[in-house]
Amino acid sequence: MARTQSDPKMTQSGSTEFAKTAAAGGAGDVYGGAAGAAASSSSDVLLNNFQLKKKSYRVLLHGQHLVWERMQRQSVKRPNETQKVPLPEQQLTAGAESSYGAHSHILHMDDIISICTGNSKHESLQPPPSNRDQQQADGDTKPTAQFLTINYAERLSKSKTDCNRWQLRRITFYNADAYIVRQWQLQLQARVASSPTGGQRVQRLLVFINPFGGRKAGAQTYERFVRPLFQLAGIDATCITTQRANQIRDILLTHDLSCYEAVCCVGGDGTVAEVINGLVFRRMRELGLDEQRPAYIPRPTLPVAVIPAGSTDTIVYSMHGTADVRTAAIHVVLGQRRGLDVCSVSNNRTLLRFCASVLSYGYLGDVAAESEQYRWMGTRRYEYSGVKAFFSNRGYDAELQLLEEPTEPETPQSPASVYTEPPSVCYANCQRCSIASSLQEQRSTLFAANADESREELQPQQAEQQKKSAEQQAQPNDDATVAVNCESQLNEIETALYRSQLLRPTSLPLQPGGSYGSNMSLPSGLQLKTIRGNFFLICGANITCACARSPNGISRYSHLGDGCLDLILVRKTSFLNNVRFLLNTAGRAGDIVSIDNIV
């Protein structure tokens, strides 16, 4: 693609004309209005001089990067005169990131929250109008704004342990030419919308506020920290303050949600679980699935945003590495999304509910159950209940039945070889979670297609019985077809993860007592394992369950969206070993795998 450059030529307003890349190789109109901005692409280059805090800066917009650098002063031959000259030209290569100057400030489009203009600096700092369409329609009028304010998010890196918080920053540029200011505003808005996360940003949000969770400050938290950010980003939020348990679930199941793009909850882990249960059961009803014995668990159509306002906020802490309210709100505004595993809880083949954090039996189960009696104590109720249950040192008899995949250490493509590798911590854009999410989406698509075909072909009185047999017979063939199409594009570790997903059964028959029968025919490649004993703690963790009191969580190497549940079994042991266990999970350097009394 050809790129045309214009020599930096000073205008009467003190700005330089910008060089523009066009698909046909010609220079575009410098002062193009809305039509010119619509015809531009992300490969265009804008280059102008602006004033920042009464200092001259050269500002460059190239691709998905905004770069600004202070103008250098170079002395001329006359001893008492100095002249401002622009910095040396950068060699911009289409399709590749340019190496900017050492003193350049670089901002990516994904981190920009909003762009505002005004006739004064104070006016440009105000939130944008709610009617954005009207704001864009004003492109035909003569521009007058000379101040351009860019609100963006910046990550704080104060230390190795405090590097996950984000803060709101803003920068205001001044240019006497209002047409240049408008051109920059339109270009920035267009590139933010076309950025990788721009299409995931929400404009209509349904917000549920739990005023009773945690320190009972959910409403104050939203009004003080969250609402100003949502207004700055132009998000139209509808707020509902809950008054009772399961009110969120009832609203999500019965009300029309077609006008919303996401659901946000301000509360603790219990509030998040209530939102997830409402959305998943709503999706099951929309697809006509049996809510007690569904053929598969569908994904909800609306994403869930979480603002921490609870006691521990383990879900938010596990996702962001911090329970900071501003950080969570910034992630919502920027449209940053991550997959989250959800496990179902059933009883005698009847689906009860869904869990997004941890299932606990034993010590942690007693702490969670007893702490409900002391909600008036706020966050201290967990410490009180935990100490009380810890000194009792009670053991819990239990029998667990697990479906195990056969181990094949000699085969590098076996699922066991993936999980015997050194454990890895989940991170942003985690490859393991991305692979598992795409595979689960393919499986859900196949289930939905089989269900639709069965519903159309079978008679109403025979649909349920024939649908179950058709799914058991057709699903392995469909999975084999997907395997042929996908395994050729995966590496060894990805293929092992994929095959482990294929071995997982969709549904298993249970006896009336809720256990698997000894003579039950298991799917190919699976074997039943029974564990009996006296335990201090039994946990099934979807996530790390980290929080401020336990930075690594009870399951440090659990991934957010890999489709796996970490099962932790702690045998009944001495009081001293229990102390070691709790100190290990509470420390920043603790690793639960290194403890001996864990199964």
Q: Which amino acid is at 228?
A: P
Highest-confidence segment of 24-38, 247-261, 455-469: 247-261
pLDDT mean over 536-540: 89
Tell me, what's the pLDDT at 413?
39
Per-residue buried b or exposed e for 429-441, using 16+ beta carbons within 10 Å of the residue's own CB: ebebbebbbebbe
Q: Which amino acid is at 98?
A: S
User: How many angstroms separate the most distant Cα atoms in the chain?
Assistant: 99
Q: Which amino acid is at 276?
A: I
Tell me, what's the pLDDT at 447?
61
Tell me how crowded residue 469 is: count the other CB atoms within 10 A of its CB. 10
Render 440-493 in DSSP notation, one character per residue.
HHHHHHHHHHHHHHHHHHS-TTTHHHHHHHHHHHHHHHHHHHHHHHHGGGS-HH
Q: Give residues with Cβ within 8 angstroms of 94, minimum separation 6.
A: 1, 3, 21, 43
Helices 463-486 and 431-457 cross at an angle (nearest 10°) of 140
Q: What would the pLDDT profile of 419-439 be if each residue is shown by its tens digit? A: 445 577 887 778 888 777 777
Tell me, what's the pLDDT at 36?
42
pLDDT mean over 403-413: 53
HSE-up (13 A, CA, CB side) for residue 420: 12
- Statement: residue 507 has pLDDT above 60: no
Tell me how crowded residue 574 is: count the other CB atoms within 10 A of its CB. 10
Who wins on pLDDT, 486 or 581? 581
Q: Tell me which residue has tokens 């004003």.
A: 138
Query: How many Å apart are CA 594 and CA 156, to the nearest integer?
Result: 32
- Statement: residue 261 has pLDDT above 70: yes
Who wins on pLDDT, 259 or 140? 259
Tell me, what's the pLDDT at 263?
97
**Cβ atoms 253, 280 nearer than 8 A:** no
Model's pTM, two decimal places? Answer: 0.76
Per the document, the length of the chain is 599
Who wins on pLDDT, 471 or 488? 471
List the end-to-end C-alpha distance of the chain, in Å, as a whole number: 61
- Kindly state the DSSP code that residue 374 receives in the 8-state scheme: G
Tell me, what's the pLDDT at 302?
95
Query: How many Å apart are CA 496 and CA 481, to the nearest integer?
Result: 17
Which two structure tokens, joined as six digits, stand for 307?
Answer: 């603002």
Phi then psi for 291, rounded to 5 degrees?
-70, -20
Tell me, what's the pLDDT at 523?
61
Phi then psi for 271, rounded to 5 degrees?
-65, -40
CA–CA distance from 590 to each of 90, 312, 535, 572 (Å)? Answer: 48, 19, 21, 20
Q: Which amino acid is at 86?
A: P
Who wins on pLDDT, 574 or 457? 574
Per-residue buried b or exposed e for 202-224, using 16+ beta carbons within 10 Å of the residue's own CB: beebbbbbbbebbeeebeebbee
Query: How many Å apart are CA 561 and CA 341, to the nearest integer?
Result: 5
Range of lowest pLDDT (407-421, 428-442, 508-522): 407-421
Query: How many Å apart are CA 360 and CA 356, to the nearest integer?
Result: 12
Residue 427: closest CA among 314, 320, 336, 331: 320
Q: What would the pLDDT profile of 321-331 be if each residue is shown by its tens digit? A: 999 999 999 99
Alpha-carbon radius of gyration of the chain: 29
Query: How many Å apart are CA 577 and CA 314, to the nearest integer?
Result: 25
pLDDT mean over 178-187: 94
- Statement: residue 484 has pLDDT above 90: no
- Statement: residue 149 has pLDDT above 50: yes
- Statement: residue 445 has pLDDT above 80: no
Query: How many Å apart are CA 44 and CA 21, to the nearest integer?
Result: 5
Query: How many Å apart are CA 398 and CA 530, to the nearest integer?
Result: 10
Tell me, what's the pLDDT at 514?
46
pLDDT grade, residue 339 (50/70/90)?
confident
Phi then psi for 38, rounded to 5 degrees?
-70, -30
Q: Give residues with Cβ within 8 angstroms of 534, minimum separation 6.
A: 395, 396, 397, 398, 571, 572
- Statement: residue 14 has pLDDT above 50: no
Provide, for the chain, the percentages of residues in helix, strand and coil under a 3-state DSSP scheme, each rounded to the nearest 5.
Answer: 35, 20, 45
pLDDT grade, residue 41 (50/70/90)?
low
Q: What would the pLDDT profile of 262-320 be if each residue is shown by its tens digit? A: 999 999 999 999 999 999 999 999 999 999 888 888 989 999 999 999 988 999 999 99
Query: How many Å apart are CA 164 and CA 166, to the nearest integer?
Result: 7
- Statement: residue 95 has pLDDT above 60: no
Residue 136: helix, strand or coil by DSSP? helix
Query: How many Å apart are CA 421 and CA 409, to the nearest integer?
Result: 11
Residue 98: closest CA among 141, 63, 126, 127: 63
- Statement: residue 547 has pLDDT above 60: yes
Who wins on pLDDT, 208 or 379? 208
pLDDT grade, residue 585 (50/70/90)?
confident
Who wins on pLDDT, 393 or 83? 393
CA–CA distance from 431 to each of 421, 437, 572 (Å)? Answer: 15, 10, 37
Tell me, what's the pLDDT at 433?
83
Who wins on pLDDT, 465 or 59? 59
Mean pLDDT of the chain: 76
Q: Which amino acid is at 89?
A: E
pLDDT mean over 15-37: 33
